[in-house]
Every structure is written in C-alpha cells, then in structure tokens.
Amino acid sequence: MATIRRSGELLLTIINEILDFSKVEAGKLAFENSDFDLRGTLQSCLELSAGAVPQGGVDLSVEVHAAVPHCLVGDAGRLQQVITNLLGNAIRFTEPGGSVRIRVHPREKAEDRMFLLFEIEDTGIGIDAETQERLFEPFIQADSSTTRKYGGTGLGLAISRRLVEMMGGEIGVESEPGKGSVSHFTAGFGYRPEAEADPGSGSIALRGPPPSESGERNFQISPSLSRKSRRENVLPENPVQRPKLLLAEDNPVNQKVALLQLRKLGYAADAVANGVEVLAAVEQIP
C-alpha cells in the first residue's frame, strides 16, 4: 500500500510540475496578490516537507528576523512552492542526523515593497561547481544516477527560478561537495505596517490561545520535526491569527491535499491520522 501511495504521489508531483512548467514557459501563470502570514506559510512548508524526512530524523528549523513584517502581500502559494522545493531537495540530500535550516532576512525596503532573502542551508552531500551553474535549467540533476537514488523530476528548480524571477528576485546556490549547500533566493512583497497587521476584527477564535505578541524576538520553529514527533509538535505561537483547525485524515496524500487547500484559503491546521489522536489533540487545547 505504502509503495502504491508513494508512486501515486510521485506521479502527481511530476504531472503538477510539468503542468506548472509549461504554464510558466507560456507566461500564463497567474500570481495572486493577497495578504498572508509569512510565519504561517513557513510552518506549512515544514509540515509539507516533514514527510520526506528519513528515518533517524533531520533537524529542521526556521528563523525569521524580527524586522520581517508579519503580514506580507503576495502569492503565498507560489512562495510556498519555491520553499518546499528547495527544502525538499535539502532534506533529500541530507543524511539522517544532519540538519536543514531556513533563514529569512530583510533585504531592501522601499515605501510599499520589501525584498526578503531566504536561505535554506543543509549539511547534505553538496554540489560541485560545474553542476551548480546548470542546476536551475530544466531536467538537470547532479548526475543521472541521482534520480534513482534520490528521486525528483529535475523540473522543480527550473520552476522555482521562474517563480522567483516573477517575484522580482534571484535564485542561486552555494555549495562545496561533502560540506552541504546553501540555496538562496530573494523575493519582493508588499507589506503592511505592523500597526495595521493585526487582523483583530472578525477574528473568531474557536478555542485556543490568543495570538502572542512576539515582535521583539525572532520567530523560531524548532526543535527538530522528525518523522516521529511531527504530529505531536505543538507550536508555541499561533502562526495565523485565525481559528484553530484540526484536520483528521488517515491518508497522507489526502491529508497533504487538504492542508494545501486550507493553506490557500488562509488557514493553518494541525493534522492527525485517527480518532484517538483527535481526542489527544483536543485535550491539549487550553
């Protein structure tokens, strides 16, 4: 069953990537421009990528500089696509026991637009200089044996590059074979001054903690999200100031699809896989 599921998932990824790539190439990719919570988006990226973490675990963490606004304006789905792609690669090429870090820093700030630098650093196998140059071309992988060992379609990075360019940024990678890689990109977003960022009105928190004020501190999601712990992982902060959602769905593909759909609608959700876990999760709500 697991194999069928995995194959189906991979096929779905390939189809989606080819569709996306042809849309990007045809210049037909629509970009949304709506408010989103960057920290919530990053959390979704981690949740989506946690499934790729090998047995034994890889330490995943996120650090967002305190000067990065909470509410950005742009296409959260496309940003998420780029990050999950780079994150997926980083995890795929990192051996158990290694670590993958996401860092987000402010770059340039214009009146109503802000450029952010995203870095995804891993302790993986690294990439040689020659391959680094070709990496963002379609259908390039480090070498053809890579596909068999690590999977992937070879389209993800090419799509990511186009998406980043559409967000007014650049993408690149620095790496030394054997020592790991840092892939990075810049992207521009609209932003709201912090005073207006609090959605307050119309917030209809069902149950759960009030949104915490964390303006001064860097936002961190850690410690490691390993295969074992990710379901129980309760984040200290409410990433999106919306009601708390819990998704109960045992099929991992359906779970991912539902989480993505929720994400697109602006909702963050925790996910569990059976009724017992539902009861346990509800019990934890203060």
Task: List contacts with another protein (CB under 8 A).
Answer: 204, 206-207, 243, 248-251, 254, 257-258, 261-262, 264-265, 267, 273-276, 278-279, 282
Of 140 and 253, CB closest to another protein: 253
CB of 170 to another protein, least distance (A): 32
The H or E element containing residue 170 is: none
Do 240 and 266 touch, CB atoms closer than 8 A?
yes
CB of 244 to another protein, least distance (A): 10
Cα gap 73→114, rounded to integer Å:
10
First to last CA, the chain: 37
CB of 106 to another protein, least distance (A): 32
Distances in Å between the alpha carbon of 136 and those of 38, 116, 142, 151? 25, 20, 11, 16
Do 35 and 192 touch, CB atoms closer than 8 A?
yes
CB of 236 to another protein, least distance (A): 22
CB of 141 to another protein, least distance (A): 32
Count CB-CB contacts under 10 A for residue 163.
23
Please, how many CA atoms are within 13 Å of residue 6, restricted to the half-sphere of its CB?
A: 7
| Radius of gyration over every alpha carbon of the chain, rounded to an integer in angstroms | 19
Of 129 and 205, CB closest to another protein: 205
Cα gap 85→141, rounded to integer Å:
14
Nearest CA-CA partner of 164 in 134, 199, 189: 189
CB of 271 to another protein, least distance (A): 11
